Structure 1
Amino acid sequence: MRNFKYFILLLVTISVSTYAQPGKFRQKMEQVKSLKVAFITSELNLTSEESAKFWPVYNAFEEKQRDLRKQKINDYVDRRDNAEVDKLTDKEANAILAQMEDNEEQLYQLRKKFIASLKGILPASKIIKLKKAEEDFNRKLLQQYREKKRR
């Protein structure tokens, strides 16, 4: 979870730093996506048949997950800009908490549905390896970002 927070922070930082240059940002994101595809394919040792079935499902999941997270971030930014936390009423705070819980539940249900759909494509051991591969990739990406920042 901690690595995921750093990964989101990295993506936000990249997006802010390249806001004036959307072409560069899009290019960097495509490069990261290509690296991720290669990394996961290698780590899972996907057969061509598994790969043909897996990637469309994975890409659809990633897109839905990205949309939910984008919505979550936009909701947070809107709340932060429109109301200071100290000035919230209990009713407003409860509404925000309910919205946060709903978003987390949607992400959970999306992942649960994704895993269920993968069970028809990959053996259980590869599904577990997928989670580890995603975490390893995010960790390596963050590490490269930190090293680049130090130079």
Structure 2
Amino acid sequence: MSQLDNARIAFFTSRLSLTQDQAQRFWPVYNEFIARRRALNRASRPLKREQIEALTDQQIRDNLTQTYATRQQELNLEKEYFDRFQKVLSLRQVAQLLAAERDFTREVIRRVAGTPGAPALGEAE
């Protein structure tokens, strides 16, 4: 497992106050969610890279339509997993999960940006 994955597990487990039983049931569901979300993001990447000036109006329309369809699929996925997470976590923990994802991403970006004196991920500040 990568250092980033280990840091995510430690961060979320702490933030959500997961019990051992919850953690055993949560991580497989969460990992499946992440894999499906990444697949959607990968599918939409080629649309973002294209040069607008090189496309016809119809191609732009098709790309935007596909982008919106992908965003809707992402929303549907989040709603599906919201229901699945509630079978493992309390409603409060599900809400904390959303905040923990944002906070973890911000923290990773901050660390990658090289904020001087920042402790390694997973370490207390």
Query: Do Structure 1 and Structure 2 share a fold, with TM-score over 0.5?
Result: yes
Q: Which stretches of structure 1, 4 residues or longer, exceed 2 Å deviation after superposition?
A: 74-77, 86-90
Displacement after TM superposition at 1:92 (Å) = 1.5
Q: 1:86: Cα distance to partner?
A: 2.2
Deviation at 1:91, TM superposition (A): 1.7
CA separation in 2, counterparts of 1:57 and 1:109? 16
Residue 59 of structure 2 is matched in structure 1 by 92
**Residues 27-42 of structure 1 correspond to what in structure 2 (within 5 A)?**
30-42=2-14
Among 82, 96, 110, the residue aligned to 1:143: 110
User: Secondary structure, in 3 states, of the residue corresponding to 2:88?
Assistant: coil
Ranges in structure 1 where 5+ consecutive residues have no aligned partner: 1-26
Residue 107, structure 1, aligned to residue 79, structure 2: no
More helix by share: 1
Deviations 1:37-64 (A, max 9, x none): 1100011010111111111100000011
Match of residue 31 from structure 2: 59
CA distance in 2, matches of 1:129, 1:99: 31
Provide the C-alpha distance between the structure 1 equivalents of 2:102 and 2:115, rounded to a whole number of angstroms: 20
Q: Which runs of 5 or more structure 2 residues have no equivalent in the other structure?
A: 117-125
Q: Could you give the per-residue CA deviations for residues 46-88 of structure 1, whole angstroms, max 9, x where no partner exists?
A: 01111111111000000111111112113433xx2xxx41243
2:46 aligned with 1:74, yes or no? Answer: yes
Instruction: Letter of the 1:64 partner, please give it.
Output: R
Q: What amino acid does structure 2 have at the position aligned with 1:70?
A: R
Are residues 1:130 and 2:102 paired? no
Percent identical across equivalent pairs? Answer: 28
Indicate the SS of the match to 1:147: coil
Compute the RMSD of aligned alpha carbons: 1.7
Counterpart of 1:49, as a letter, is: D
AA aligned opposite 1:106: Q
